[in-house]
Structure 1
Amino acid sequence: MTVDQKTSQGKGEPVPPPTSGDEEPGTEHDDPTETSGGDGGEPPETPLASGGPRRPNYFVMGFVGALGVLSAWLLVNALSGAGAVFVYILVALFLAVGLNPVILLLQRMRMPRWAAILTVCLFLALFITVFVWTIVPPLSDQVSSFVAGLPQAIDQLQNARFFRELDQRYDVLARIRDMVTGADFGQQVFGGLVGVGQVVFNWLFATFTVFILTLFFMASLPGIMDVSYRFVPRSRREGVREIGDEIVRRIGAFIAGQLVVAALGGVVAFLFLWAIGSAYALTLALVVAVTALIPLVGTTIGALVASLAVALGDPLMGLVTLIFFLVYQQIESYVLAPRVMRHAVDVAPTVNITAALLGGALLGLVGALLAIPTAAALTLVLKRVIFPRLERR
């Protein structure tokens, strides 16, 4: 202790702590970062200006949470409102990828890509025109014949004993007359016609939109694929490109297989209907061929439509037609379609059926159409990527 320190101690003044150079060995000082009263090294609560602890602002937290919920709700509504547009884009992209092998085939025949795309589009437009031309005149003739023969059918129905007893017991004719002459009948008929017109307009708009989008996607498909591959790191880009090109090839093979199965169904239907003397053999054959493009239930729908059309002229022959199509459906489902699809997409029939059911449950008809190529893509990824990595572990 120095003389100055002794003097200060004698005068009663506080002695300052010794500096680092004056510390004696073995002395310990408290860490300045430690806090008194803090158990377990927990930091102290930050005091406010008034000296109290800082508390969370529950109003701000609730307001921000409400804004988040509102934003999520608006986003869900926007996506649901634009759901039809997403479906159009998905279908158009699917068709563009499926028709790409035909375009490549035309390009190998020394045709420019724009000319190949134009040729495919003209063929599609021609097919739609022929289909409508074969459907509309017979349908209008059937409606005209039905309207013209309706009074005679009603007279025959009134003369039937069963109908007379039914009318005497339940006043069927009086109920029908009251319903037709009622004030709401015209409004209901007009509303029904407006609803049918709206459905037809929506269908035409959807068809035109998908057609235009398919045209643009076919023109820009190589660029879209190149940009998609650039999102993959360079070290893995070559393998991803190989898998992506194989997926595109399988989607094209799936569409080609569906067209082959539908064409076979249409040819068989035309030959049978022509053999039994149906006046609308070509029309019904086109209906069978188009509905056969629908997975699982397409052939059944076409068979029912053709059988019903034949049964209107001859009920016995309509029953024969139904039996013929049921037999052909079994042959197509268990012999033709599995072999074509196994060669096209290399997917087991059980996977095809399961995928079509799940796709139909999620997106309806569009989901059923897209489910099988999606299953083929997932199967390819499993075989080329997932299973080899699991085997190396």
Structure 2
Amino acid sequence: MRWWTAKDDADEAPSATVSTPGYIPWGNGARINPFTFGLLGALGVLVALLIGSIVGQLGTVFVYVGVALFLSLGLDPIVSRIERKLPRPAAVAVVVGGVILAFAGILLAIVPVLVKQITNLIDTAPDMVDDITHSDWYGWLTDQFGTNFDSAVSGVLDFLQDPTNLGEIGGGIVAVGAGIAGGVTGVIIVLILTLYFMASMRAMKRLAVRFVPAYHRPRFRELLEDVSGAVGRYVIGQVSLALCNAVLSLIFLSIIGAPLPALLALIAFVGSLIPLVGTLSASIIITAVCLVNSPTTALIAGIYYLVYMQIEAYVLSPRIMSKAVAVPGSLVVIAAVGGGALGGILGALVAIPVAASVIIIVQKVVFPAQDLKKLPPGERAEAGVDGNPPAVEV
């Protein structure tokens, strides 16, 4: 906005009044009432707040779309490989059928075992509490901390045995059940979106290219293929690492007699999807759960995961992720924390491929543009620097 001056009035509109009391100058001699000016500003602020509120409420939807998009990018190389022998619709159908069968197999393998183990845990809970109170380590803790520790345990047991507290416990169980139902719904939505994205991946890429000026389209198309290919390889590699961790965890935890090994293996799988911090977090949770059985079991589990993390970092990860873009450890931590703060576990899962995409864009666009700035002005113009489009035919 440019304020109207007396000189402008004299040059452009000699008959206009230089200053009108109660009005704000508004370009080309027009003037606006201060009340109208303030009203427009307030409406602009309200619209901005409304847009921010809508974006905040749709945050979960954006996370679902992001997860489905990255899953489709991860499965696209498999679809392209099958497409060499089958048409693309058939290749997409084969991949989707394989994903559904794998998901159903995981549910059939985990859910019955999980229900059985939870039932056994509830049935044996009184005996387990009695064994804990008569164990050597419980006696050692009682000797170390005296009556304070004994009083705390007695208070917990009294709370659990009080019928008036059953309502609060039931409310917590209902909340957990609602959370599980929401998670299952989210998984179904992500699977459906992944199906649509895989079927229309090429059309989506062509549409994205259309938004770019024609003289930049060849370079943008190449960059888009690089980003999608790297993200796809990254997703496949990370899922392979997570699957390896889950299978080994299920076998090892079953051997040492850990409680709920199927559930703990699922925690290991989800945790391994988040690089660097996910495996460590899942290992700590699993080791803490093993304390329910005995300190010896927890110690064995902790030693196992310490060894496994070293093998994963120096043997498995370099071999599996050798063709994917390398993300520095510091950026992994920042992306995982930021994504988790914005969208929970799903946000953390999406944040790592986003960081990988940003790194590719920086390497492919920003760095070459900076390197070209050392050329003479004439060569810089031919290379398309300083706003001059390169001589490329589409």
* Fold shared, TM-score > 0.5 on shorter chain: yes
Query: Is residue 55 from structure 1 mapped to residue 35 from structure 2 by the alignment?
Result: no
- Residue-by-residue CA offset, 1:141-164 (whole Å, 9 max, x unaligned): 33333332334455667889859x
**Which of 79, 83, 86 is residue 107 of structure 1 equivalent to?**
83
1:1-393 aligned within 5 A:
46-47=16-17, 55-56=23-24, 57-108=33-84, 110-153=85-128, 166=147, 181=162, 183=164, 185-270=165-250, 272-273=252-253, 276=256, 284-285=264-265, 287-304=267-284, 306-307=286-287, 312-313=292-293, 315-338=295-318, 340-393=320-373
The residue identity in structure 2 corresponding to 1:263 is L
The offset of 1:299, in angstroms, is 1.8
Cα pair distance change 1:38/1:304, threshold 3 Å: closer
Q: Return the TM-score normalized by structure 1.
A: 0.75
Contact 2:237–2:321 (CA under 8 A) maintained in structure 1: yes
Q: Which whole-Å deviations, capped at 9, do the CAs of 1:116-138 have from their partners, x for residues lacking one?
A: 22222222222222222333333
Residues 148 and 362 of structure 1: CA distance in aligned 2, closer, same or farther (over 3 Å) = closer
Kindly tell me: are residues 319 and 80 of structure 1, through their superposed partners in 2, closer, same or farther at Cα, counting changes over 3 Å? Answer: same
Contact 1:266-1:286 at 8 Å conserved across structures = yes
Letter in 1 for 2:357: A
Q: State the alpha-carbon separation in 2 of the partners of residues 54 and 256 from structure 1.
A: 66
Alpha-carbon shift at residue 68 of structure 1 (Å): 1.6
- Match of 2:83, SS state, is helix
Contact 1:229 1:241 in 2 (8 A): yes
CA distance in 1, matches of 2:271, 2:169: 30
The one-letter amino acid of 1:111's match is: L
Mapped partners of 1:277, 1:191: distance in 2: 31
Where does residue 30 of structure 1 map in the other structure?
none
Query: Is the contact made by 1:88 and 1:206 (CA closer than 8 Å) also made in structure 2?
Result: yes
The one-letter code matched in structure 2 to 1:132 is L
Amino acid at match of 2:69: L
Q: Return closer, same or farther for 1:228/1:66 CA change in 2, 3 Å cut-off.
A: same
Quote the RMSD (CA, aligned, Å).
3.8
Q: Structure 1 pair 69/270, CA: closer, same or farther in 2 (3 Å)?
A: closer
What is the Cα deviation at residue 353 of structure 1?
A: 4.3
Structure 2 distance, partners of 1:318, 1:225, is: 49
* Structure 1 counterpart of 2:51, one-letter code: L
Structure 1 residue 207: Cα displacement: 0.9
CA distance in 2, matches of 1:358, 1:228: 27
Match of 2:385 in 1: none
Shift in Å at residue 171 of structure 1?
Answer: 10
Query: In 2, Cα distance between the equivalents of 1:175 and 1:264?
Result: 39
Deviation at 1:223, TM superposition (A): 0.5
Does the aligned pair in 1 maintain the 2:259–2:290 contact within 8 Å? no
8 Å Cα contact 1:46-1:53 kept in structure 2: no
SS of the residue 1:46 aligns to: coil
Q: Secondary structure at the match of 1:344?
A: coil
For structure 2, list consecutive stretches of 5 or more residues without a partner in the other structure.
1-5, 25-32, 374-394
SS in 2 for 1:232: coil
CA deviation profile, 1:9-54 (whole Å, cap 9, x unmatched): xxxxxxxxxxxxxxxxxxxxxxxxxxxx989957668359xx9757
The whole-number CA distance in structure 1 between the counterparts of 2:66 and 2:45 is 29
| 2:321 counterpart SS class | helix
1:96–1:218 contact (8 Å) kept in structure 2: yes
Per-residue deviation at 1:324? 1.3
Give the partner amino acid of 1:117. V
2:259/2:293 contact within 8 Å kept: no
Q: Counterpart of 1:217 in structure 2: which amino acid? A: F
- 1:374 CA drift (Å): 2.5
Return closer, same or farther for 1:40/1:83 CA change in 2, 3 Å cut-off: closer
- How far is 1:253 from its partner? 0.7
Amino acid at match of 1:252: G
Q: Is residue 277–residue 333 contact of structure 2 (8 Å, CA) maintained in 1?
A: no
Structure 1 residues 90-124: Cα deviation after superposition (integer angstroms, max 9, x where no partner): 1111111111001111111x122222222222222
Matched to 1:303, the amino acid is S
